[in-house]
Chain A
Amino acid sequence: MMRLPPFTYVAPRTVRDAVAALREHGADAMLVAGGTDLYPNMKRRQFEPKVLVGLGGVAEMRGVRGSARDGFTIGAGTTLSALARHPDIVRHYPGLATAAGLVSSPQLRNMGTIGGNLCVDTRCNYYNQSFAWRKAIGFCMKKDGEICLVAPGSPRCWAVSSSDVAPVAWSLGAKVRLVGPAGERVIPAEALYRDDGIQYLAKQPNEILTALLLPPADGRRSAYMKLRRRGSFDFPVLGVAVSVRMDGETVREARIVLGAVASQPREATKASAALVGRQLTPEAIDAAAEAAAGPSKPLDNTDFTHPYRKKMTRVFVARALRRIAGLPVSGRVEEELA
């Protein structure tokens, strides 16, 4: 049986206590919420913290507050299943509800939190392996080793951002609240991420992501599409988040953000810009989709071949935009034989 390495467990009841616990234990400590990302990694010895600061008992970090007019504050400890079925989120931020509802499996979503998924460790099929496996291959730079096994000449780690909700948060223009010893700061979701497989978060280790702040809904339309082998369990190997605000029939603002094609979510800025001021016609959508494929540069370190993932970027962006445009995306399979 795979088992956890030993640690001391600290269960603060408030954010303030959690920050204090982190400060007290310094580099020995790690944060855990649902545990669905950290515990498997700990069992494979990617992490062996001496102290775990569990956020499960921090009531102030749970729940969804706000309104469509003013925006919502989602406590980072809110479970993914709670978020996926929250009526206001489903109605006003469908892309976010969709993404939360597509994370892993039903059981995982009952445990995993929105904060955990925003901060989910980058993944690579040379890294997400047992200690013995990694030792046999000679370890990689993300943990215990020197080189990147995906791109051996590379000075950096290419582990893949594998969050479903991160590209959506980015596309919505959402912000995150970080609380640390120096107090609280609110930064745009996109500022949370760095394009590095190891240091993939701009968050300080002693900071706690306490909430996701959604902007006012304000006629925003959003969608998320996920590529993976199976309809359950699997991480995204391509995620497409689109968010659009309309002036009547014309696009006022558009953001297309790709997930799982780099070490951080990647915004397809040219594609987004190409939509602004235009109507969401099939032609405009195709042009944007074509442009969106540019920033998609997957490497061979996840499921599916990377050329396939790259090719699917265009298709998935087009489909996500069609969904937003109210155009049929995947017509139901109809029996055409009477």
Chain B
Amino acid sequence: MKIRLELTVNEETREVLVAPHKTLLEVLREDLGLTGTKHGCELGECGTCTVLVDGAPVLSCLALPAELQGRAIATVEGMAGGGQLHPLQQAFAELGAAQCGYCTPGVLLTAQSLLSERPTPTREEIREALAGNLCRCTGYTKILDAVELASLRMAEVAR
């Protein structure tokens, strides 16, 4: 039997009617049409489906929407605001940190959470924060570069 839920995704409250066993990943992609959230294993083994819940990166493939009412869910579609890309998105595009682009949404959100907690992380801290996001294309090098660049730019704006 389906249940009615109110989910706040990218600061918009949406009502969905879903079976209780549907994961957040399925609801985002299949009920809300937010296909920016990708999936690579659906078992919590790759980080591809990462979204933010109250600012913290979690795996949408292992999260139940029933648990998330009233929580702030953020997906890649919500990163850009007012027609402006998030500095991370800008840096990822400029530095070629997205090759095939499939892991990119999850990586971006994880990095966004890191920078909101720790605006100027060391490269080692970036590595640690992104250790739960597999990428097969980049060797992570340009990803780490892009997070550093975004961090610098954000720090400059803040100053």
Direct A–B touching, Cβ under 8 Å:
yes
Interface residues of A (CB under 8 A from B): 1-9, 11, 34-36, 39-40, 43-44, 54, 56-57, 81, 104-108, 110-111, 231-233
B121 CB–A CB distance under 8 Å: no
Q: Which residues of B contact A6 (CB under 8 A)?
A: 19-21
Quick check: which of B50-58, B80-88, B141-149 contacts chain A, the rest being far away? B50-58
Tell me if B57 and A107 are in contact (CB < 8 A): yes
B67 CB–A CB distance under 8 Å: yes
Q: Which residues of B contact A233 (CB under 8 A)?
A: 45, 131-132
Q: Which residues of A contact B110 (CB under 8 A)?
A: 106-107
Q: Smallest distance from the beta carbon of B41 to chain A beta carbons, Å?
A: 7
Additional A-B contacts beyond A3-B22, A107-B57, A111-B59 (17; CB < 8 A): A1-B42, A2-B61, A6-B20, A6-B21, A7-B20, A34-B62, A40-B44, A40-B62, A43-B42, A43-B43, A54-B64, A105-B44, A106-B131, A107-B59, A108-B132, A111-B63, A231-B131
Q: Smallest distance from the beta carbon of B85 to chain A beta carbons, Å?
A: 24
Q: Which residues of A contact B44 (CB under 8 A)?
A: 36, 39-40, 104-105, 107-108
Q: Which residues of chain B (30-58) have a CB below 8 Å from chain A? A: 39, 41-45, 47, 50, 56-58
Q: Cα distance A234–B146 when bound, in Å? A: 27
Tell me if B132 and A106 are in contact (CB < 8 A): yes
Q: Max chain B CB contacts within 10 Å: which of A9, A35, A107?
A: A107
Tell me if B58 and A9 are in contact (CB < 8 A): no
Given A1-B26, A36-B44, A56 and B67 contact (CB-CB distance below 8 Å): yes
Instruction: Specify which of A9, A35, A107 is in contact with B20 (CB 8 Å cutoff).
Output: A9
Q: Cα distance A6–B23 when bound, in Å? A: 11
Q: How large is the interface on B (under 10, 10 to 19, 20 to 34, 35 or more residues)?
A: 20 to 34
Q: Which residues of B contact A35 (CB under 8 A)?
A: 62-64
Q: Cα distance A39–B22 when bound, in Å? A: 11
Closest to A232 in B: B131
Q: Cα distance A11–B67 when bound, in Å? A: 8
Closest to B25 in A: A1
Q: Cα distance A104–B3 when bound, in Å? A: 32
Q: Cα distance A172–B44 when bound, in Å? A: 30
B128 CB–A CB distance under 8 Å: yes
Closest to A9 in B: B20
The 6 lowest CB-CB distance pairs between A and B, nearest first, are A105-B132, A232-B131, A2-B42, A9-B20, A40-B43, A4-B21
Q: Smallest distance from the beta carbon of A120 to chain B beta carbons, Å?
A: 13
Q: Cα distance A43–B43 when bound, in Å? A: 8
What are 24 A-B residue pairs whose CB atoms fall within 8 Å in the complex?
A1-B26, A3-B42, A4-B21, A4-B23, A6-B19, A6-B20, A7-B20, A7-B21, A11-B66, A35-B63, A35-B64, A36-B62, A40-B43, A40-B44, A43-B43, A106-B110, A106-B128, A106-B132, A107-B58, A107-B59, A108-B59, A110-B57, A111-B58, A232-B131
